[in-house]
């Protein structure tokens, strides 16, 4: 049979035509179903990317005071950390960030592999997400350095000695609505970048600038912050009275910690977290110091009772769950001290947040104290006496986790 005859018979044949036609008709159906599945998967990935972009942009604004290199590192940490939590089958997206002092834009881009759409030659679907976070410029210029939480008391912020509070680049915020919420006397004065006082200032007080006219109370920023849970005691009723240098290690100190040393005494706290259940007492004229330390106070009589004439140099951790937190009293502590006291002489420095809700903090006796702001002091009420002078400057340690740079700052997603 000739080739021409074979082809003629093949063309005239009818066997198997139904199956062939069905297969041809089924192909676009399969592609259509595949497209629905693949585009649905791409939409899910895109939604996840948008959530991550939002969180990363907010992180970029929360850390606006940090160098751009560190802001970018934190943004990258949010992207990679969140991605591994919600996306296990898809490689992490590529991202870019645009940074300024009042805005952060984060863009994410990825390609989602297809399944049945590959039949049509489409191997992946491009997806992208963008988020822009902005902050009010006024707040960006004035980080918060002192916050008194009490809503009603007279003398919520008081200095009755000859010292001063100097905080030229940050805000002092007093929640009390009492008409004499602030009282400076005896030659004491306050100089800050901004004074936000809900109530009034006692006549004759020397404060500058004049209080903002539209000030409103702010909530406790650390009420729900991280703190250590229950644990086994590493020390019980530890009392230190020998002179020379004593080294202490992180751990749980039950029934308080008591230190009494003279001029030659020195206590060095190794970096880490110290949970002190009870009173943290210090007397004498020695020195306490530690870098990268956090003191968490809890239990009955919890608080600081530093009544000697020593000096202190402490800095909070730079990373981890307690980053930026130097001293923290559990707001739910059972019968803590009514007042924490820090008394000393000479020069001292506290770099990190001191958080003492439901307690008055009394500072007295120092020649000068250096503190780093970014929520440096958050207390119920604050009192100074004697010649204590407090100088506040930008913090080398981060603001504790979950907080923006200012109590009055509002960071929003603009897109």
pLDDT (0 to 100) of residue 347? 83
Q: Is the pLDDT of residue 350 over 80?
A: yes
Residue 226 near residue 242, CB atoms below 8 Å: no
Asked which of 217-231, 277-291, 382-396 is least confident by mean pLDDT, the reply is: 382-396
CB contact set of 224 (below 8 Å; sequence gap of 6+): none
| Distance in angstroms (rounded) separating the CA atoms of residues 401 and 357 | 18
pLDDT (0 to 100) of residue 281? 96
CB contact set of 159 (below 8 Å; sequence gap of 6+): 165, 183, 184, 185, 186, 188, 189, 190, 383, 384, 385
CB contact set of 32 (below 8 Å; sequence gap of 6+): none
E strand map for 307-335: 311-315, 325-329
Average pLDDT over residues 324-344: 92
Nearest CA to 305 out of 331, 277, 283 is that of 283
| Distance in angstroms (rounded) separating the CA atoms of residues 381 and 339 | 9
| Distance in angstroms (rounded) separating the CA atoms of residues 414 and 102 | 12
φ/ψ bin of 374: left (φ > 0), alpha (ψ from -120 to 50), beta (otherwise) = left
State the pLDDT confidence band at 27, using cuts at 50, 70 and 90: low
Overall pTM surpassing 0.75 (yes/no): no
Give the DSSP per-residue string, 270-303. Answer: PSEEEEEEEEEEEEES-EEEEESEEEEEEEEEEE
- Angle in degrees, CA 192, 193, 196, rounded to 5: 80
Q: Is the pLDDT of residue 108 over 80?
A: yes
Asked which of 25-39, 152-166, 296-310, 344-358 is least confident by mean pLDDT, the reply is: 25-39
Nearest CA to 238 out of 288, 281, 284 is that of 281
Nearest CA to 292 out of 252, 351, 246 is that of 351
Asked which of 9-13, 152-156, 160-164 is least confident by mean pLDDT, the reply is: 9-13
Residue 110 near residue 94, CB atoms below 8 Å: yes
β partners of residue 393: 372
Average pLDDT over residues 228-238: 94
pLDDT (0 to 100) of residue 191? 93
State the pLDDT confidence band at 406, using cuts at 50, 70 and 90: very low
Q: Is the pLDDT of residue 37 over 70?
A: yes
Q: Is the pLDDT of residue 52 over 60?
A: yes
172-182 pLDDT, tens digit per residue, is 999 999 999 99
Helix (H, G, I), strand (E, B) or coil at 128: strand
pLDDT (0 to 100) of residue 260? 92
Residue 40 near residue 63, CB atoms below 8 Å: no
E strand map for 16-122: 94-99, 103-113
pLDDT (0 to 100) of residue 254? 97
């Amino acid at each position: 049979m000739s080739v021409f005859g074979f082809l003629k018979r093949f063309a005239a044949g009818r066997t198997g035509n139904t199956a062939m036609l069905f297969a041809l008709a089924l192909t676009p159906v399969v592609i259509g179903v595949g497209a629905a599945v693949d585009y649905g998967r791409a939409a899910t990935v895109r939604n996840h990317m948008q959530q991550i972009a939002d969180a990363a942009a907010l992180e970029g604004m929360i850390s606006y005071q940090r160098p751009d290199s560190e802001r970018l590192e934190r943004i990258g940490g949010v992207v990679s950390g969140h991605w591994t939590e919600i996306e296990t089958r898809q490689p992490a997206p590529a991202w870019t960030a645009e940074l300024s002092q009042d805005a952060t834009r984060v863009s994410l881009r990825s390609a989602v592999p297809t399944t049945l759409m590959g039949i049509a030659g489409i191997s992946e679907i491009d997806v992208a997400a963008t988020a822009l976070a902005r902050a009010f410029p006024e707040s960006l210029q004035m980080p918060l350095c002192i916050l008194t939480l009490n809503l009603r008391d007279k003398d919520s912020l008081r200095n009755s000695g000859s010292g001063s509070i100097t905080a030229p680049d940050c805000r002092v915020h007093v929640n009390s609505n009492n008409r004499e919420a602030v009282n400076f006397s005896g030659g004491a004065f306050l100089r800050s970048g901004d004074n936000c006082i809900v109530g009034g200032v006692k006549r004759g007080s020397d404060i500058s600038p004049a209080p903002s006219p539209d000030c409103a109370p702010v909530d406790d920023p650390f009420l729900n912050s991280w703190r250590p849970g229950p644990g086994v005691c590493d020390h019980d009723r530890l009392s230190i009275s020998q002179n020379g240098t004593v080294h202490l290690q992180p751990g749980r100190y039950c029934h308080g910690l008591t230190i009494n040393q003279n001029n030659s005494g020195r206590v060095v706290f190794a970096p880490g977290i110290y949970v002190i259940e009870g009173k943290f007492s210090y007397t004498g004229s020695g020195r306490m110091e530690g870098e990268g330390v956090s003191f968490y106070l809890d239990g009955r009589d919890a608080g600081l009772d530093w009544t000697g004439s020593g000096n202190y140099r402490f800095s909070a951790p730079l990373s981890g769950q307690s980053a930026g937190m130097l001293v923290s009293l559990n707001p739910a502590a059972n019968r803590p001290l009514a007042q924490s006291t820090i008394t000393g002489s000479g020069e001292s420095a506290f770099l990190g947040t001191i958080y003492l809700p439901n307690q008055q903090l009394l500072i007295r006796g120092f020649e000068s104290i250096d503190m780093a702001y970014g929520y440096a002091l958050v207390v119920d009420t604050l009192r100074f006496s004697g010649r204590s002078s407090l100088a506040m400057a930008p913090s080398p340690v981060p603001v504790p986790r979950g907080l923006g740079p200012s109590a009055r700052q509002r960071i929003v997603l603009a897109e």
